[in-house]
A and B are shown apart, each in its own frame.
Chain A
Amino acid sequence: MKISKEFMLREIAGEYIVVPTGKAVFQFMGLITLNEVGRFLWELLQSKEYSMDQLIQKICQSYEVEEAVAQSDVREFIDALKSRGILSDD
């Protein structure tokens, strides 16, 4: 799974905002706000391909969280991105 670089992450007024640019505007015409963990996952997925398990491991390494909670949160995040056409399965 990977996110196109056409979705630009910006920090404005203390918020993490994702702005679609280029053809991504056709895919998603709004804006997205992310919390700190969302930003963390987003930056990973824009840097290279990641599997669900790899993302969960990354979260567990970086945040003090149980694996079951990380698994649930990552799945919810990935599902939200997929439902908006931002992320596709590899």
Chain B
Amino acid sequence: MNEPWWSQDVPISQMLSRKAAVRGIPLHGTFELTSRCNFSCKMCYVHGMENMEQLEQQELTTQEWLDIARQAKEAGMLFLLLTGGEAMLRRDFIELYEPLCDMGFRVVINSNGSMLTPEIVECFSKRPPARINISLYGASDETYRSLCGVPAYESVKTSIYRLREMGISVRVTMMLTTYNCGDMEQVHQTARDAGALCAMSSYLFPPIRLDEQTCGNNPGRLAAEEAGAYLVRRERLLSKDEEFLKRAQWAVQQSAAFNQSSSEGLPMQCLAGRASFWLTWDGKMRPCGLFDRIEMDVREVGFAKAWKEIHEKTLQIRLPRACANCPDRVLCHNCAAMTLAETGAFDKRPEYVCRMVEGMKTEYARQLKNME
């Protein structure tokens, strides 16, 4: 269901990704530069809230990141996502960003949009990222205060306009939670007015990276059926009428026509661990940022060995058998990370995700009826 961030950007990437997945090349990399953030979002799965100075000391240094980047380039990395925490919070952000750009990666940045200093603007005027994904968590300071703990709406909006004026591609991203779902349409309008792309999701991972006890829960997320309905409303908002109608009809028919039987669970379907990796702020390589069951310390073993291990272990993962035989599979966007975060295992059926799909089906039917 959800296209990864790179697939819509560059059509060539789809062809390259398929080749890389077959050959086991780490084409896509995410560098999680820091876990620190100046926001305190209620649903965050990375942000450490205490001992900021200690967290900073545990982060990979500028030289360590650059050394890993050179090794990753050697191994075939082309697409590089810089994320956090808030990546621009690092004191050495520019010192790190500039040489990464010059290495020949297609660099994209995830940011909360509140740290765009004059120095970073100057840096981007000479080395623009291929895209900046700015999280816009609401359409007012009130929403920001309730979800992120800071009244940052105006400053984030100003950053989006500033970047667009510079000619930089911006994608506004919104996580829909119980705190901000009422602002969905206004956020979309803000993105349109600024000439930015827009992406939204209503699925929030249980933050098991911070606390394993949260398995199956995220305090900020919507009830499963409602989260499913919001996925469809999002699609309605971001698509033209005829596109949505086609998609909704297809979704309902595909689900009804499904007829498959498998004796075992499917392997991982996304590129995680097959053609992409995630490197945490403290040097742990994982197939994806959202689970820690498989990880290697890059500082200890080097990039090539870490990738080899991650790749081999990823290929052994099997998703729940029930999912392989589920008629709603075409509508569902379940993945290994979701299954793990919801159930604590890769092969257990994630009930929350199943109920989300029920919510999607109900909402598709309601929308189709309204369109008739």
Contact = CB atoms under 8 A, between A and B. Distances in A.
Contact of B105 (A14, A19, A23, A32): A19
Interface string A1-28: 0000000101011110101011101100
B16 A25 contact: no
Given A13-B19, A13-B25, A13-B76, A25 B129 contact: yes
Given A12-B78, A13-B23, A22 B10 contact: no
A26 B164 CA distance: 12
Given A10-B78, A13-B76, A33-B12, A21 B127 contact: yes
A71 B123 CA distance: 42
B130 A25 contact: yes
B130 A29 contact: yes
Contacts, number: 57
B16 A12 contact: yes
A23 to B, nearest CB: 6
Given A13-B23, A13-B76, A21 B101 contact: yes
A31 B12 contact: yes
A24 to B, nearest CB: 10
A12 B9 CA distance: 18
B19 A14 contact: yes
B13 interface: yes
Interface in B3-41: 9-10, 12-13, 15-16, 19-20, 23, 25, 27
A7 to B, nearest CB: 10
Contacts of B105: 19
Contact of A17 (B78, B129, B130, B167): B78
B316 to A, nearest CB: 23
B128 A26 contact: yes
A39 B20 CA distance: 20
B127 A12 contact: no
Contact of B12 (A22, A23, A26, A30): A30
Contacts of A21: 101-102, 104, 127
| Contact count band on B | 20 to 34
A19 B76 CA distance: 13
B145 interface: no
Q: Which residue, A8, A13, A21, has most C-beta atoms of chain B within 10 A?
A: A13
A53 to B, nearest CB: 31
Given A12-B78, A13-B76, A31-B10, A22 B167 contact: no
Q: Which residue, A8, A30, A33, has most C-beta atoms of chain B within 10 A?
A: A30
Interface in B105-147: 105-106, 126-130
Interface string A22-61: 1101100111110000000000000000000000000000
Interface in B40-97: 76, 78
A29 B10 CA distance: 9
Contacts of B126: 22-23
Contacts of B128: 23, 25-26
B169 interface: yes
Nearest to B21: A13
A15 B16 contact: yes
A40 B136 CA distance: 45
B78 A26 contact: no
Q: Which residue, B15, B20, B104, B167, has most C-beta atoms of chain A within 10 A?
A: B104
A21 B13 CA distance: 17
B10 A30 contact: yes
A17 B19 CA distance: 13
Given A13-B25, A13-B27, A31-B106, A19 B12 contact: no
**CB-CB nearest 10 A-B residue pairs:** A8-B104, A13-B19, A25-B128, A31-B12, A19-B104, A12-B76, A13-B20, A31-B10, A30-B10, A13-B25
Interface of B: 9-10, 12-13, 15-16, 19-20, 23, 25, 27, 76, 78, 101-102, 104-106, 126-130, 167, 169
